[in-house]
Every structure is written in structure tokens, then in C-alpha cells.
């Protein structure tokens, strides 16, 4: 097997998903070590413009894999198409973004291609002329380094690779092949748009954000009261709270939620998983309250408070109610 690097172009409604460029940057970092060529693979019903766009923006050649009458993403069809195209372009490496779609495809691709898979990759460096992939383990408390040899599927962690825009964009050649996926067991019955992100959250100057560490649903009232002390504020939360129905999804911060950039972000009982950090990275000042002194969120915090979130918020509220001098952001 050759060692060309195929980057899977994720797209939605005719637009390239930004995470694709992070996967591309990850591929560029592998190329620095292996000197392999990069090719962008776009699968779908209509791929011409997407291929031209990705080639122009990245300066890499692109190949479109057309699946006739495939109106929406179908993991089974995409998997078969990518395996087919990977054979044609002699891909030894496949880079995908760690989005819902990328996580759907990556491990299956590796299994079907018979190559290793490394997910949640945050950094790549060289050792003995081979790429080493760095990722977080145990909810961010441990960093692991993995060498997977000369071939593999690499899933880049969203928010970890910064795309280095090329200065002179130019299309570097586009090929197109047609692929018939055959009988599919997966049928997409329908898709619907999620609730739009809460504009209040995107514009809030202060966000008091709750995680599983607040322990009880009733404590959200406490979180709301603390938020209420600040003008232009909002409450928000981590994904488990939304999954459990404690908060609406429009208030979820993170990779699959809202990206926020407040003056002050207070993380209450949030561990600091990468998927959450991606969403709050733009915050100007971060206060983290967590009972575990080793919680990864403290690596992102300007002020860390090692305490039970409920007790701290209760005391803070009581003190604030006594004083008229609540800090204005």
C-alpha cells in the first residue's frame, strides 16, 4: 500500500464544514514527516463545486466520488465509496475530522481497510521518521502518545489544529469518479434542523455554565440566580445536562453546541472535556469551580476554585445579596 494521505471533505448543504480544514491541517502535519501526497476526497451527489472549492482553498488536488441520487449523508454508502476511492488513490492514511460524521466513518474505515485508527488527535510530532499522535485520555487527565506505523485512519480533535491558510489560492486539479454503492441496509428516513443556537448565549457578556458536578437539577435555579446578578448574562451547560433534559440544547456549549466568547465564563462542576472546551475557548476570563483539584478545566482557568459547586454558589449568592457591589463585567 502506498502512503498517500486522503482527507475526507465533510459538507452540508453545499458548504464545506470548517472542521475539514482542521483534518487537512492534521494531514499536512503528517505529510511533513512522511512526505506523502495529500488528496481531498469529496463524496456525495453533487461534488463539482465542493471539489473545486476545497482544491482552491487548500492548494491540494481533489477527487469527487459521485453517488447518484444520494440526497443526504448515508454512512454505509459513504463508507463503501471512500474504501473504493482510497484504493484508486492508493491512500495509506485517511484523515477525517472528529465531528459526528467523522466519528461515524473513521473506525469503520480503519476496520474495512485493515489499518489502525487513532481518534481525538490533538497534535502530531515526529519520532524515528514516523508520526506520533498525541491525544487526551481519561477525560483529559492523561496525555497519550501513539505511533501506529506507516498507515492509519487519523481522526482530528475539533479545535486542535489551526488551518494555515495558503496565500495564493489556486485550484490544483479535480478528478471525478462515479460510484454505485449497491444495496444499502441503511435508509435515511429524514433529517430536521436543530433549534437555532440561542443568540442571547452568543452575545452574553457573562455565562454561568453548569456541568454534571452541580449534581441536582434543582441546583440550576442556583446557577440562574447567580447569573441574574450580572447584566447581559446567561446560563449554559455541558452536553450531559442537555442530554438529560435539564437544559435545552440551545444552551449547550461545545463542539456540538454553541461557540461562546463572553467576558466571563464560570464553569461550575464541568470537567473540561475537549468537546466542551472547543465551545468556550473564546472566553476572555474563565473561573472554574470543581471539587477535583486535578480536573482538566483548571488548565483553562484564570481562577480555579476547588470546592463543592453547590456550596460555593450558595455562599457566593448569599454574600452578593448582602452587598450592592457585585462586580460589573
Question: Hey, which residues does 147 pair with through a beta bridge?
Answer: 132
Burial 106-117 (b: 16+ CB within 10 A, else e): bebbbeebebeb
For ligand FAD, the closer CB: 112 or 215: 215
Beta strand 130-137 pairing with 117-127: antiparallel
For ligand FAD, the closer CB: 58 or 238: 238
What is the C-alpha to C-alpha distance for residues 143 and 141, in angstroms, rounded to an integer? Answer: 7
Quote the least distance from Cβ 153 to ligand FAD, whole Å: 16
Quote the least distance from Cβ 289 to ligand FAD, whole Å: 6
Which residues contact ligand FAD (rule: CB under 6 A)? Answer: 100, 103, 139, 211-213, 215, 238-240, 252-257, 269-271, 273, 275-276, 279, 289-292, 295, 308-309
Quote the least distance from Cβ 222 to ligand FAD, whole Å: 12
The dihedral formed by the CA atoms of 270, 272, 276 and 280, expressed in degrees to the nearest 10 = 90
Task: Calculate the alpha carbon distances from 245 to 90, 249, 272, 276 in Å.
Answer: 46, 8, 20, 17
The dihedral formed by the CA atoms of 300, 288, 281 and 208, expressed in degrees to the nearest 10 = -170
For ligand FAD, the closer CB: 92 or 269: 269
For ligand FAD, the closer CB: 23 or 38: 23
For ligand FAD, the closer CB: 12 or 48: 12
Opening angle at CA 190, ends 238 and 16, nearest 5:
65
Quote the least distance from Cβ 122 to ligand FAD, whole Å: 14
Among candidate residues 220, 225, 259, the one with its CA nearest the CA of residue 240:
220
For ligand FAD, the closer CB: 7 or 268: 268
Q: Nearest residue by C-beta to ligand FAD?
A: 254
What is the C-alpha to C-alpha distance for residues 144 and 178, in angstroms, rounded to an integer? Answer: 40
Quote the least distance from Cβ 274 to ligand FAD, whole Å: 7
How buried is residue 147: exposed, middle or buried, by Cβ count under 10 Å (0-12/13-18/19+)?
middle
Quote the least distance from Cβ 279 to ligand FAD, whole Å: 6
Amino acid at each position: 500500500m502506498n502512503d498517500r494521505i486522503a482527507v475526507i471533505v465533510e459538507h452540508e448543504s453545499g458548504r464545506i464544514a470548517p472542521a475539514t480544514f482542521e483534518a487537512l491541517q492534521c494531514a499536512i502535519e503528517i505529510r511533513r514527516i512522511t512526505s506523502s501526497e495529500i488528496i481531498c476526497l469529496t463524496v456525495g451527489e453533487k461534488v463539482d463545486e465542493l471539489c473545486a472549492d476545497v482544491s482552491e482553498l487548500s492548494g491540494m488536488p481533489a477527487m469527487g466520488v459521485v453517488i447518484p441520487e444520494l440526497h443526504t449523508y448515508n454512512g454505509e454508502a459513504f463508507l463503501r465509496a471512500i474504501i473504493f476511492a482510497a484504493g484508486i488513490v492508493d491512500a495509506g492514511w485517511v484523515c477525517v475530522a472528529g465531528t459526528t460524521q467523522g466519528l461515524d466513518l473513521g473506525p469503520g474505515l480503519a476496520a474495512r481497510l485493515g489499518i489502525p485508527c487513532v481518534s481525538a488527535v490533538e497534535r502530531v510530532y515526529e519520532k524515528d521518521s514516523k508520526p506520533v499522535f498525541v491525544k487526551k485520555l481519561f477525560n483529559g487527565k492523561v496525555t497519550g502518545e501513539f505511533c501506529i506505523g506507516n498507515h492509519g485512519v487519523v481522526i482530528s480533535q475539533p479545535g486542535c489544529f489551526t488551518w494555515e491558510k495558503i496565500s495564493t489560492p489556486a485550484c490544483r486539479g479535480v478528478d471525478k469518479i462515479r460510484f454505485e454503492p449497491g444495496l444499502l441496509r441503511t435508509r435515511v428516513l429524514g433529517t430536521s434542523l436543530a433549534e437555532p443556537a440561542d443568540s442571547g448565549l452568543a452575545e452574553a457578556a457573562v455565562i454561568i455554565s453548569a456541568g454534571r458536578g452541580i449534581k441536582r437539577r434543582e441546583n440550576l435555579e442556583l446557577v440562574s440566580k447567580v447569573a441574574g446578578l450580572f447584566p447581559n448574562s446567561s446560563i449554559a451547560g455541558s452536553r450531559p445536562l442537555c442530554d438529560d433534559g435539564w437544559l435545552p440544547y440551545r444552551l449547550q456549549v461545545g463542539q456540538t453546541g454553541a461557540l461562546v466568547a463572553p467576558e466571563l465564563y464560570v464553569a461550575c462542576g464541568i470537567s473540561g472535556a475537549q468537546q466542551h472546551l472547543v465551545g468556550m475557548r473564546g472566553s476572555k476570563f474563565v473561573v472554574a469551580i470543581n471539587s477535583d483539584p486535578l480536573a482538566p478545566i483548571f488548565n483553562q482557568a484564570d481562577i480555579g476554585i476547588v470546592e463543592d459547586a453547590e456550596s460555593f454558589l450558595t455562599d457566593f449568592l448569599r454574600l452578593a445579596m448582602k452587598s450592592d457591589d457585585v462586580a460589573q463585567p
